[in-house]
Amino acid sequence: MKVVDYTDERGRKYSVKLPDGAPDSEAEKGIPIGPPDVVDALGLPEPMATEIHNKLFEHKIFTAKDAARNPQKLHGVIQSTFKVCTARMMEAFRNLNRDIE
């Protein structure tokens, strides 16, 4: 078995296992390694949910054991996502103020 990474239609990144002879283009049919779609249970809007999912992917936080092993890393994933969202919100405010002035 080989490990292949792919990005789905929502922009979420996943690692999966494929048989050694299978082409990488069949990654969506592979055996999921992670991350699981845990962010969907949080009820977060897009693109925030995808942002958190992809940060879990980047940090290889795929299981509860991974998260428990380093809760600071999990906290960092959430914190960095909110920094990105804060920057987007600030830009929206700047654009709104330009339209009003």
Strand order in the sheet with 31-34: 2-7, 13-18, 31-34
| Stated pTM of the model | 0.82
pLDDT digits (tens, 9 = 90+) for 78-99: 888 888 778 888 888 888 877 6
> Is the pLDDT assigned to residue 101 strictly greater than 80?
no
Domain ranges, ordered by start, for the chain: 1-34, 35-101
pLDDT at site 44: 86
Q: Using the 8-state DSSP alphabet, how is residue 39 labeled? A: G
pLDDT at site 1: 95
pLDDT at site 98: 72
Point out which residues pair with 16 in neighbouring strands: 4, 32
What is the distance of C-alpha 3 from the center of its chain?
18
Which three-class secondary structure state does DSSP give residue 34?
strand
